[in-house]
Amino acid sequence: MEYFDKINVLGISFDRANKKVFQNKIIDILAGEKQSYIVTPNPEIVLNANHDEKLHHIINSATLSIPDGIGIKFASWLQGKNLVRWAGSDICLWLLKYAETEAKKVAIFNLKNGLSSGNDINWALKKKYPDLNFAIESIDKEWSLAYYQNINVFKPEIIFITTGSPYQEKFIYKNLPKMPFVKLAIGVGGSFDYISAKVKPSPAILKLIGLEWLWRLINIKSYGDKKLIRTKRIINAIFLFPYEYLKWLLINQFQYRKNVACLIYKIDEAKQYKILLIKRNDNGAWQIPQGGIDGDSIESAAIREIQEELGTKKIKILDTYKNLHKYTFPKKENHQYRNYKGQSQSLAITKYTGDDSDLKIREWEYIEWKWFTLDEAKTIIEEVRQESFIKYIKKLHKTIQKYEKS
């Protein structure tokens, strides 16, 4: 398999190629000037990304998304395609050897109080890769800026992060631009625990048939709550992932996703009614805040979305309308919305009660926010949203008549 294309599994994009193609692409990255990062989603990470929009965005923005976990491979078969698995631990070993051979500096950001200490990793790397030029930083899951001084002096080209998902992916997304000398970043979870021999590697036969999880479960060196959490994570990956994937693949395509649009207005000093629009990062389009209802009431979902997208609770919901607008997704876009046929959009008309300084948009998803008069908003909303927007403005006029002019 010498080709290189993509396949979508539960809204997460995977690169489809063989190991040699992946290796060549990594070599090209290290020979180039641009910064890149690799993700290795397994079923558990895919499930988490479906409930963590930032993680979802980070994974789908990666330079390479390499499948890890037999469940992902089975999922690709159900789409008539085949994904070649390359486990994060194996990528780690290959990268370390390549870095040693090609004299590339490496830094390991190791989880403080993790299974393998910095000394454990230092000893193991010196033994297995005697010519490797490396540095180790012990970090917590919320990395401090204080560490930059050491890294700026060493200037590694490759960095490994061992904090586990989703912390390692969010670490990379936040901090990689601050380290311009780094060309490649990858989150590797507990991969260095195998290198340091703190965890026994699974037998080759179990790895071949995708039962590494069973080996990990048997060899868990933890007790009480930690062991229960680890067991629960593995069970979710085995049973919940197939259920969610089959639903995504076979059922969602005939259903409309429940969504709420949040029409937020205020009255400015000139007594003008203005509504809040946000500008998307991906296509530069202006829209009103919105998001999935996910089993909540319209009001609860609206409050949640406004808090997540705008960072504020200073609102008052005045009116809600259920399933006010329904539309079908263009086929090329439906994967990012969990493979639904389209959206059935409810409306929450909301009055803003705070100051502009209280608004803090999600910078990874939106470029800016701005207040517009109703006439201005009509001209700036993208064409595909005009039909729904006209409906929502009509409802807003009714709300204004009810609450502002009574």
pLDDT in tens, 274-299: 999 999 988 889 999 999 998 899 99
pLDDT of residue 267: 94
Average pLDDT, the chain: 90
- The secondary element (H helix, E strand) that includes residue 216 is helix 212-218
Distance CA 274, CA 268 (A): 7
Residue (of 25, 264, 41) closest to 165 by Cα position = 41
Q: pLDDT above 70 covers what percent of the chain?
A: 91
For the domain 256-403, what is the CATH superfamily, name and number? Nucleoside Triphosphate Pyrophosphohydrolase (3.90.79.10)
Distance CA 298, CA 273 (A): 24
CA angle 208, 213, 219 (to 5 degrees): 115
- What are the strands, taking DSSP E only, across 174-272? 184-187, 256-267
What average pLDDT does this structure show over 368-389? 93
Question: What's the pLDDT tens digit per position in 20-32?
Answer: 999 999 999 999 9
What average pLDDT does this structure show over 50-74? 93
Predicted confidence (pLDDT) at residue 198 exceeds the cutoff of 70: yes
Confidence of residue 332 (pLDDT cuts 50, 70, 90): low
Confidence of residue 394 (pLDDT cuts 50, 70, 90): very high
Residue with the bigger pLDDT between 266 and 295: it is: 266
Predicted confidence (pLDDT) at residue 185 exceeds the cutoff of 90: yes
Confidence of residue 223 (pLDDT cuts 50, 70, 90): very low
Residue with the bigger pLDDT between 139 and 128: it is: 128
Confidence of residue 131 (pLDDT cuts 50, 70, 90): very high
What average pLDDT does this structure show over 117-144? 91
What are 321's strand-pairing partners? 347
Residue with the bigger pLDDT between 143 and 39: it is: 39
Residue with the bigger pLDDT between 1 and 273: it is: 273
Confidence of residue 405 (pLDDT cuts 50, 70, 90): confident
Confidence of residue 235 (pLDDT cuts 50, 70, 90): confident
- What are the strands, taking DSSP E only, across 106-183? 106-111, 134-139, 158-161
Distance CA 38, CA 29 (A): 11
Predicted confidence (pLDDT) at residue 207 exceeds the cutoff of 90: no
pLDDT of residue 238: 83
- What is the secondary structure of 211-264 as a DSSP string? -HHHHHHHT----HHHHHHHHHHHHIIIIIHHHHHHIIIIIGGGSEEEEEEEEE
Distance CA 324, CA 111 (A): 48
Cβ 92 vs Cβ 68: under 8 Å? no
What average pLDDT does this structure show over 72-97? 94
Q: Whole-model pTM?
A: 0.89
- What does each C-alpha distance from 46 to 124, 198, 212 come to in angstroms? 31, 27, 18
Confidence of residue 217 (pLDDT cuts 50, 70, 90): low
pLDDT of residue 145: 55
Confidence of residue 90 (pLDDT cuts 50, 70, 90): very high
Predicted confidence (pLDDT) at residue 130 exceeds the cutoff of 60: yes
Cβ 348 vs Cβ 304: under 8 Å? no
Predicted confidence (pLDDT) at residue 191 exceeds the cutoff of 60: yes
- What does each C-alpha distance from 222 to 114, 146, 197 come to in angstroms? 12, 31, 16
Cβ 141 vs Cβ 111: under 8 Å? yes
Name the one residue in this structure whose structure tokens are 């805040």: 289
Confidence of residue 140 (pLDDT cuts 50, 70, 90): confident
Q: Give the range among 95-104, 131-140, 143-152, 391-400 with minimum mean pLDDT.
A: 143-152
Residues 6+ apart with CB under 8 A from 219: 199, 200
pLDDT of residue 69: 84
**Start-end of CATH 3.90.79.10 domains in the chain:** 256-403
Predicted confidence (pLDDT) at residue 222 exceeds the cutoff of 60: no
Q: pLDDT above 90 covers what percent of the chain?
A: 72
